[in-house]
Structure 1
C-alpha cells in the first residue's frame, strides 16, 4: 500500500498523463478497500467463531443439566414406586406380612441399581412375574418367557406396571389381580387388571403423582401409551402399550 502510494506521488511529480495518474489512484483505492474488507471479514469470522463456541458450550451445559434433571426425576420416581410405597403399604393393615421382607429387599436392590448404572439387562417377563409373586394378595401372571424390546422400553413398562400394582395394593381393596404380558417384534402390551373398588379418574388429586408421573409419563417418554379403564365398584384395568416404528 505504501509502495503504491509512493508510485502515485512519483507519477504526479513526474507529470504523468491524467489517465495513467487516474489508474494509479484507483489502484490505491482498490487496495485500500480490499484491506478494509479483509480486516472486516477477519473480525466477523473471529466473532462468529466466538459466538459458535459460546453457543456450543451453552448447548453442552443445557444437555448436561437436562441429563442431571432426568436422572433426578428417574431416581425420585424409583424412590416413590419402591421404598416410599412399601412403607405406605405397611399401613394397609393386611394380616399377611410375609411379603414385606422380600419386597423391602427388592426395593433396596432396585434403588442401588438406579444409583450405580442403567438397567440395561432388565428382563421384562421375569421381573413382572417376580412383582406378582411378592404381592400381599392373590396375583396371576400370564405371559411368555421372553419378550424382546429395547431396554428403555422394558424399564418404562416395568416401572409403570410396578406402580399400577402398588396402586392396587394401596387403594383398590382388591382380592385378586391379573397381569398379562403380550409382545412380538417391535411391540409389547402389559395389562394389570384387579377386582377392586375402582375409582373415578377425574377425581384423582393433582398432588397424586402415581398415575400421572409413574405410569402415563413413563410410557410417553419412550413413545408408548397408558390407558386406564375403571369406574367405581367395577375394578380397574391399566393397559401399557408400546409399538416401535
Structure 2
C-alpha cells in the first residue's frame, strides 16, 4: 500500500487497513514477538516454551487488532478478560505483561518498514496507532490485574467449580440408572435445579417429529408431539445450539398458546454428531442469562449420553428377551416334544403287548412310559421357571433361588443346601442375569451331573457380590467344555459380560463341579 493512499483515507479506514496488514503477517509477527519475549531476562516467560508463548501472544494480537476498531466493544472485553485470567493463573505480574506488550512494537516494525516509505506520514500514523493500542491494552490489563477483578475471577472460578461438581454428581447418578423413565425424570429435575426454572421437558426425535417423552413442573406442554420443521425445537436441532425466547408467545413450540409460559430455553440433545431430541426448561424468574445457556449446554451433553445409554440398554433387553424366547422354543421342541412323542410310542407298544398277552413286555413299556413322562414333567417345570422367574422382581434373588431349589431340584430327588452370607441390594438387571446363570447351572445339575447334592451360596459385600453353585455329580473336562461351549457355558459367559462379572469354573470328571460368579457393586 502506498503512503499517499493512506493519507487520503479516513481514520476509520486507516485503522481497518492497518489491521488487515497485521492480520496478513500474523504468523510472522507472533514468531518474532515470541522469540523477543522469551529472551527478555528475569521474567516468567522464560519458563515456557515458544509454543506456549505463541498461544498467549496470538490472543493478545487478536485484542490489538480489535482495539484498532473500538476498545469498548464486547469482543475486545471478552478477549482481554480471557487473556488476563490466563496470565493470572500462571502467576504473571503486571510488569511482565506490560514488558511483553511493549515488545510488540519491535516485532511489528519490519512489517511497517516494508509497507510504508521510511519517514512518511503514513508510517508515523501507523506507529502512533500501534502505540495507542498497546497503551490502551496495558490500561485495561491494569484493571484486570487489580484486587477487584481478582476477587471477581476467584468467585467466577469457584462458581464454575461448583457447577462442575454438580454436573459430575448428576452424571454419576444418571449412569447408575438404566431405566429410561428414571433417567428422563432425573434429567428434567436437575435441569430445573441448575437453572432455577419451574418446569422442564424432554422431547425425543422420532422420524420427523419430536415427541414429549417426559415433562415436569409448570407450565406443561399443550401437545405431545411437534414437527421438526418450522418449530423452535427443530430450529435448535438444525442449528446445533440453544435457543432462548424470553417472549416466546409468537413462535411455534410445545407450549404454544399456553398463557402460563413466560420464557423458554431449548437445548439440543446430541451424541456423536447425531440429534436425539431437545431439552426444554421454562419460566426462569427474570430472564435466561448467558450462564444459563452455558450450563445447560454442558448438562445437555451429559444428559444425551445417559439417555442414549438407557435406550441402548432397553434395546439390548428386548433383544435378550427375543433370544430367550427362541431358545425356549428350541428347548421345548428338543426335550418336551420329543419326550411326549416317545411316550406315545411306549403306549402303542404296551397296547400291542397286552393284545398278545405279553405281560412282561407290556410292564417294561409302561415303566419306560412312566420314566419318560417323569422326565417330560421335569423338563416342563424347568422351562416354566426359565420363562418367568417366580417372585424375582417382587422379593429378590435370595427368595427366587430358594423357591427354585425347593420346586425343582428337591422334587427331582437332589439334596439341596442354600446359604446366604451378608445382606445388601443389587440392581434388578444384575439380579436377573445372576438368576439366569444360577438357573443354567442348576439345570445342568439336574439333567447331566447325576448329582446327589447341590449347594448354592450367596455372599453380599459392600464392594462385591458372589454366587457359588457346587454339586457332587459326575463332573466334566472344563477345558473341553469351554472350547465347545457345551453345558450352557456360552450363554453363561454372555450373561457374565453383560454385568461385567468374573466367571470361575472348577470341574474334574468324577469329582463334581463348582461355579463361581463375582460382580463388583
TM class by shorter-chain length? 0.5 to 0.7
Distance 1:81 1:186, change over 3 A: farther
Other-structure match for 1:183: 460
> What SS does the aligned partner of 2:468 have?
strand
Structure 2 unaligned regions, length at least 5: 24-65, 67-74, 76-236, 242-268, 277-303, 340-367
Distance in 2, matches of 1:146 and 1:121, equals: 20
Other-structure match for 1:67: 313
Distance in 2, matches of 1:70 and 1:216, equals: 16
Kept in 2, the 8 Å contact 1:124–1:146? The answer is: no
Distance in 2, matches of 1:17 and 1:145, equals: 91
Kept in 2, the 8 Å contact 1:177–1:195? The answer is: yes
Other-structure match for 2:494: 217
Other-structure match for 1:161: 438
Further displaced range: 224-233 or 136-145 = 136-145
Structure 1 unaligned regions, length at least 5: 1-15, 39-45, 114-118
Kept in 2, the 8 Å contact 1:193–1:237? The answer is: yes
> How many correspondences in the alignment?
213
How far off is 1:104 after superposition? 4.5
Question: For the pair shown, which has the larger CA radius of gyration, 1 or 2?
Answer: 2
TM-score by length of 2: 0.33
Kept in 1, the 8 Å contact 2:475–2:508? The answer is: yes
Other-structure match for 2:397: 124
Other-structure match for 1:141: 417
Other-structure match for 1:21: 9
TM-score by length of 1: 0.63
Higher relative contact order (CA 8 A, sep 6+): 1
Other-structure match for 2:508: 231
1:192-207 → structure 2 map (5 Å cutoff):
192-204=469-481, 206=484
Kept in 2, the 8 Å contact 1:168–1:196? The answer is: yes
Kept in 2, the 8 Å contact 1:138–1:176? The answer is: yes
Distance in 1, matches of 2:441 and 2:12, equals: 87
How far off is 1:177 after superposition? 1.9
Distance in 1, matches of 2:507 and 2:17, equals: 84
Kept in 1, the 8 Å contact 2:458–2:467? The answer is: yes
Distance 1:234 1:224, change over 3 A: same
How far off is 1:102 after superposition? 4.4
Distance 1:139 1:77, change over 3 A: farther
1:80-91 → structure 2 map (5 Å cutoff):
84-85=330-331, 90=336
> What SS does the aligned partner of 2:458 have?
strand
How far off is 1:179 after superposition? 1.7
Kept in 1, the 8 Å contact 2:386–2:439? The answer is: no
Distance in 1, matches of 2:453 and 2:332, equals: 19
How far off is 1:139 after superposition? 3.7
How far off is 1:17 after superposition? 10
